[in-house]
A and B are shown apart, each in its own frame.
Chain A
Amino acid sequence: MSMQHFTEVFKLHIPLTHINVPIYNSIIYMWIIMLVLIIFAICVQVYMRTVGFKMVPESKFQNFLEAIVKWLYDLVENIMGKKYSEYAPLVGTIGVCLLFSNLFSFTGLPQPTADPSIPIGFGLVTFFNIHYQSIKKNGFKSWIGEFASPFVFMFPINLVVELSVPVSLSMRLFGNMIAGLTIIELVYNGLSGVAFGIFRFIIPIPLHAFFDLFDGVVQTYVFMMLTMVFIKNSVDHGPEH
């Protein structure tokens, strides 16, 4: 059985150019997740505009949404501080997308985060935000000055430290996901030679619970936490702090 999970499905031709973008199945899985989330978001909007949220929440749907949004804002305010609640949508988006991606393996298809390009994309989003928010809050001079602190000759070291952030974020996520995927696949392959067919169904269950469910949720949480901490650190280093 091949270990190649992600292959090119088709080439997307960008109109008016000669560029053909290769579309891998991991991207198609992401699009499926996005479609589900966008449909859910539209349902939320339709619900809010037709039924409307009640001051005294009675519907389970409203309670569910309020609980999630409240949990997200509380998390961001606890980790980053009350004045940084503006970053909750960003952290929430990364969290929701990662959670659905990591748990995608329950469909029987490999989770898209096991394709190294996708965790790198997530890591770069956090990386860009760390520096974009720092420049936006404290200005370019303060941001560039951070690299030269405490001494100017620390610049290359600080640069490596900053560049290691997205690498560590994406490689941690990718490593966990590919490890779970590989181990479960190895177990399935090994069990295919076992005489008693029932073992092929029972033995992988705890492995799915650990590598797919537990590790998927934990990695999502870790990614959110690190995103919050890194953004807070970079924004906090401004002149007023």
Chain B
Amino acid sequence: MSVESSTIIITIINIAIMFWVLTKFIFEPVKKFMDSRVISIQNDIQDANNLKLNAEELKSQYENKLKDVHDERDQILLDSKRKGEKLYAEKVSEADRDVEVIKERAKREIEQERSQMQNELRNNTVSIAIEAASKVLNQEINQDKHKELVADFIDNLK
């Protein structure tokens, strides 16, 4: 049982070799792998959080847009309703006006026709009366004078 300096030195060399082998082959690669996994998990969590935030932002954006669309739709509906009502009222009043005009025109035409008829009737009546009178009286009367007389008579009848 003695201390051998050569054994001590060989032990130190042995430990140095084992340090190199274990560090390079086991400790460092395994630790590196575990550290990289920690980083990758952290990144994944970060990414997931970012995605979640983005999704929430998008969701609120879409909700706002949807609300806008709803508002716009309501506005368009209201507008078109109002426009339609206005148009309807316009059309109705136009039609009323047209009816008035047509009625007026018809009335005028009727009036015109009637006065024309009256004139014709009067003229005819005058000529028939003159003819009849001249036939009945057999006397020569100035036709113009006669016509005047009868017209006066009819005018007085009115």
Q: Which A residues contact B (CB, under 8 angstroms)?
A: 3-4, 6, 21-24, 26-27, 30-31, 34, 37-38, 41-42, 44-45, 48, 53, 55, 65-66, 69-70, 72-73, 88-90, 92-94, 96-97, 115-118, 120-122, 124-125
Q: Which of A3, A55, A73, A115 contacts B7 (CB 8 A)?
A: A115
Fill in one digit per residue for B20-31: 1 if any A CB lies within 8 Å of its CB, else 0. Answer: 011101111111
Q: Name the prevailing secondary structure of the A interface residues.
A: helix
Q: B7 contacts which chain A residues (CB < 8 A)?
A: 22, 24, 26-27, 115, 117-118, 121
| B48 close to chain A: CB less than 8 A | no
CB distance from B113 to the nearest CB of A (A): 106
Interface residues of B (CB under 8 A from A): 1-12, 14-19, 21-23, 25-31, 33-34, 37, 40
* Contact, CB under 8 Å: A30 / B1: no
On whether the beta carbons of B18 and A93 are closer than 8 Å, the reply is: yes
Q: Does B19 lie within 8 Å of A30, measured CB to CB?
A: no
> Which partner residue on chain B sits nearest A48 by CB separation?
B29
For the A-B complex with A27-B10, A116-B1 known, give 9 more contacts whose Cβ atoms are closer than 8 Å.
Answer: A24-B7, A48-B33, A66-B30, A69-B31, A88-B27, A89-B19, A89-B28, A121-B7, A125-B16
Chain B contacts for A23, CB-based, 8 A = 10
A174 to B32 CA separation, bound complex (whole angstroms): 35
What residues on B are CB-neighbors of A92 within 8 Å? 22, 27
Least Cβ distance of A11 to chain B in Å?
10
Distance in angstroms between the alpha carbons of A88 and B31 in the assembled complex: 10
Give every chain A residue within 8 A of B11 (Cβ-Cβ).
27, 30, 117-118, 120-122
Chain A minimum-CB-distance residue to B11: A121
Beta-carbon contact of B23 and A42 below 8 Å: no
Partner of A41 from the list B21, B31, B34 (CB cut-off 8 Å) is B21
Q: Which residues of B contact A90 (CB under 8 A)?
A: 19
- CB contact between A121 and one of B12, B21, B29 (< 8 Å): that residue: B12
Partner of B26, one of A24, A65, A97, A120: A65
Q: Contacts A27-B7, A69-B27; is A93 near B19 (CB within 8 Å)?
A: yes
Q: Which residues of A contact B31 (CB under 8 A)?
A: 69, 73, 88
Compute how far the CA of A38 lies from the CA of B26 in the bound complex, rounded to whole angstroms: 10
Nearest B residue to A21, CB-CB:
B6
Query: Within the assembled complex, what's the spacing in Å between the Cα atoms of A156 and B6?
Result: 29
Residue numbers in B under 8 Å from A70 (CB-CB)? 34
Q: List 15 A-B contacts (CB under 8 A).
A: A30-B14, A34-B14, A34-B17, A34-B18, A37-B18, A38-B21, A48-B29, A69-B34, A73-B31, A93-B18, A116-B1, A117-B3, A117-B7, A120-B8, A125-B15
User: In the docked arrangement, what's the CA distance between A23 and B6, Å?
Assistant: 8
Task: Knowing A70-B34, A116-B1, say if A124 contacts B8 (CB, 8 Å).
Answer: yes
